[in-house]
Structure 1
């Protein structure tokens, strides 16, 4: 009642409100009388309706995201449903995400195969997303051109091919436009289904799925369709581009011969045909292709420049390779062609073999030649990053654009250049960057290398703790190497809040199964000055030791045949720790 009494307005406040309402009503009455006299005089008030602002379907979500921002303490949105099951390692994230996605696929397949079990609809209008329909069987569907075009539009490559072959066997007429649409699809995917990397709906399979590289299928359905269709510049260019995409020595040579035949017929090949031959051909082939582009006046696009850069990375001489790459970039800029992130990534990979750098790790040894190449790469990176920072926006122009950030971070971490790495992170997280790396895979490697470099080059334990909690486990998965590096830091500069977080992450990531790592945890806890901790910190210390002991006891009890390989026997230090807490707290 006391709280309610304070919330109610007093007598003076009521008098003020009453006078305000009275004055407002008098003013409104005056305006009404004036409006009435105006209307009687024949003058109506003019109302101007502003035109509607055109907005995209995601503008509202983007506005909410920009307002709320990113919570660095929260997990990834894919794991926020069940806080108790939030994964902390890269492998656990993969298993959790794939299990969640495959469960959705299984539920959708059940709804597709047994639709009568889900006929109780209350939604109006009917939501087709909740009523999935089974894909038509090419052997049972009506052999019509309409069904064929539907399969082509949905990129069901093998089903479309089966339906087309069925239509031809039944002497069904297929128009040239339908055959051309099927030919484009088959040539682009070499007669195979869409690879995991291009799946739009299922993100987990797109990020984690592995698609094997296959060479061009000679005398396949693409070649048969090409023989059926008119030999125009478009159809031949499509075939050449497909042969170069799935390149083999035979297919590249045949692609060159097809371009020569087109030129003999006074047909102008499309730029995609030249780009494929430049990217996959040898030095003689791509120089010939450039000369022919000049003769027939085919304007190069960004794909042509990237193909040229890729072709020059095959040169054996490092000095010659760098000279050619520099000339190409300068010529692009002089002609007003802005290099894409893929262009810069090709240049960086052409200076140093990135695969060797990844294999070497952050602290791997380097030869003198590799050090010189790394210095050259860093000088290039500084110029590239400065240019990217000056651009108003970074847009994606090819699927490989996101690889630039990881390649650049590999070089920065290899050279222990923290300022450059922080510039890369700031550029990647800026609002003007629209190029994002796949979560849990490439993005995890990017931030892992950045965090390890930050731990290595930073001396303040407070800054290290803040950065660690910001990235782990939201973007960076807990690994043995990362845990070991953090343990080394907290042993040199003890801080209880950081120690507790690192050990808890180690428990969640199953680091207790590693005897060496569990021994490090024990040593760190022994070095903690228990008397200097606050009362709440002492309670946290005891609970943390109980967790460790409980984990060791559980691992020691794996005596059954199917779990014996996971058994970790108790060591004297562990036994003493268990006995101490059993006597003290009756653990």
Structure 2
């Protein structure tokens, strides 16, 4: 009985929890709970990495991730940045070349699933079996020349190609003007290639009589899409006249062309019409045709109109047209992009035109927002806005707001190419260094941007040195000289003269170590001048003034031996040294000769002063004779230089 009762009690202990759970489930089934499954959120392949990145702060002093994290391998100049990046790209190209030339070595498939990019590129020949499916494949992969070759093979073998594939091929060929595009993996080459000048883009580069035109002519029953593709291609590469003729031909056939076709024609109105009024009338007519044909405008239409208006001069009518266009498109529900505001800026804020504050109104519309690239012209906004802040308005507060917008969220993607980035920071630094206290500029701007984000051009560095001189902030000189060495600015006459003047005119306290730093900088300049390449285009001219200032700086640090080296260079370099040094440098050298009991060197310096026409030569001779006991030979040398009168007068004074 006892054993059974214990077992019963134990059974109750273990049964009770399960009974409670069953009771809860029964009660919950009575009150049915509705489970709501949230909508799926689309995640990109790098979203997790971006989320992790957002948890840490960026180090502005760290080099870009594409450069090796080694102080000796981080580029410190614009030329070095381009060279390092392109060298890395060359390595990728070499790998592509090896894969192309030795395809037999890459037949193994270690990846699963297969990654097509890792496989050798298929080379098509006259004997390669091809089909329309193969043509579609290379079109999807944007292989322009391969698509052209396969299509010609299919035609040669009398294999029919569907009209849809022909249309896709025509669009590909027209968009790339029958040329292969740069592979997407060559990021750095794309980055630097975009820096080509705008003037180079604004000329006809369409290939007349090319495969694109042959393909267009071979299509038996052209459609509106066919005409749209060829017209857009010609407009993109500025074959304006033929594009307009094809447009008129399509209209006669009753085709309704696409919105982008009208946009392309509006954008090249300056190629089709000469005067501003004729261009505006031309644009109005095209917009009316779009309205008649029930073709809806889009953001591209707005930007095309604003682009054309920006080329029409400085008249007030143009500015009124711009405001009207913005108002009309806003009624249509089309919001401007950053590219739209770029066109507004270059219309209202032209060089040598009246001052316009429209950027203040624009920044209110766009700040504190994350902007995506909606038009290719969007990448022009920030560099233009900073140009307006610096040159047109000279407004540092507005420039800070623009820079804050650039660094908001992912807006930095719209900075453009390497050239635009450099111009942007050039304007920003020049405005900041002349508008805010120098200490604030060096702390919050210079130390953050330079050199990993921006390398100052010689003009910017010259302005910084000028502000250092005006503010007497000589504590920044050693750092700036170190940066000038890294940035290859040491062969610039104006910068070297400027930094020498700062060090000479602003003598530091004897307690500070700046005298030693200044002497080291001066001697570094001397060695660079002495060892510069004779064949180099940009060379520092060796002048007496340059050597005199260097000698004065090393003497302030008490380095008599280096001063003697420089004095020998001055004394013996009559044919290579232009001009003469300052008398202050020569007087200081004589003083140190007296201090170091070197009368022979002092006499040589006095001889140089006399030969150079300095009236102070007699005073220096008297000073030397007064403070040192000269022998008869030395006295005779001095007498020949300044005459016996001054020395005898000095002797009479002593007696």
* Aligned pairs (5 A) from 1:213-362: 213-229=203-219, 230-263=221-254, 267-281=255-269, 282=273, 283=279, 284-316=281-313, 318-353=315-350, 357=351
1:145 corresponds, among 108, 123, 132, to: 132
- Pairing 1:553–2:527 present: yes
- Give, in whole Å, the separation in 2 of the partners of 1:435 and 1:564: 38
* Aligned pairs (5 A) from 1:16-415: 37-39=16-18, 43=22, 55-114=43-102, 125=112, 128=115, 131-139=118-126, 141-194=128-181, 200-209=184-193, 210=196, 213-229=203-219, 230-263=221-254, 267-281=255-269, 282=273, 283=279, 284-316=281-313, 318-353=315-350, 357=351, 366=352, 370=353, 372=354, 375-376=355-356, 379-389=357-367, 392-414=369-391, 415=393
Distance 1:235 1:420, change over 3 A: same
Structure showing greater radius of gyration is: 2
Higher relative contact order (CA 8 A, sep 6+): 1
3-state SS, counterpart of residue 393 of structure 1: coil
Contact 2:526 2:547 in 1 (8 A): no
Cα RMSD for the two superposed structures = 3.6
Distance 1:452 1:187, change over 3 A: same
Deviation at 1:581, TM superposition (A): 4.7
TM-score computed with the length of structure 1 as normaliser: 0.79
- Give, in whole Å, the separation in 2 of the partners of 1:518 and 1:340: 45
3-state SS, counterpart of residue 431 of structure 2: helix
Distance 1:530 1:158, change over 3 A: farther
- Give, in whole Å, the separation in 1 of the partners of 2:473 and 2:68: 29
Contact 2:349 2:388 in 1 (8 A): no
Deviation at 1:59, TM superposition (A): 1.6
TM-score computed with the length of structure 2 as normaliser: 0.71
- Give, in whole Å, the separation in 1 of the partners of 2:146 and 2:519: 60
Contact 1:243 1:251 in 2 (8 A): yes
Distance 1:120 1:224, change over 3 A: closer
Deviation at 1:249, TM superposition (A): 4.1
Deviation at 1:505, TM superposition (A): 0.6
**Hey, what does 2:399 align to over in structure 1?**
421
Contact 1:340 1:397 in 2 (8 A): yes
Distance 1:532 1:306, change over 3 A: same
Distance 1:322 1:439, change over 3 A: closer
**Hey, what does 2:631 align to over in structure 1?**
none
Distance 1:89 1:291, change over 3 A: same
Deviation at 1:312, TM superposition (A): 2.7
- Give, in whole Å, the separation in 2 of the partners of 1:34 and 1:327: 84
Structure 2 stretches of 5 or more lacking a match? 1-11, 29-34, 274-278, 566-655
Contact 1:322 1:351 in 2 (8 A): yes
- Give, in whole Å, the separation in 1 of the partners of 2:224 and 2:99: 46
Question: How far does the alpha carbon of each residue in 1:287-332 deviate from its partner, in whole angstroms, 9 at most, with x for none?
Answer: 3222221112111111111122223334356111001001111222
Deviation at 1:460, TM superposition (A): 4.1
- Give, in whole Å, the separation in 1 of the partners of 2:165 and 2:113: 32
**Hey, what does 2:502 align to over in structure 1?**
524
Q: Which moves more between the two structures, 75-84 or 336-345?
A: 75-84
Number of residue pairs matched by the alignment:
522
- Give, in whole Å, the separation in 1 of the partners of 2:99 and 2:553: 55
Deviation at 1:55, TM superposition (A): 3.2
3-state SS, counterpart of residue 79 of structure 1: coil
3-state SS, counterpart of residue 400 of structure 1: helix
Question: How far does the alpha carbon of each residue in 1:504-541 deviate from its partner, in whole angstroms, 9 at most, with x for none?
Answer: 111111222223322333333343515343xxxx3x87
**Hey, what does 1:361 align to over in structure 2?**
none
2:463 corresponds, among 470, 482, 485, to: 485
Distance 1:565 1:450, change over 3 A: closer
**Hey, what does 1:474 align to over in structure 2?**
452
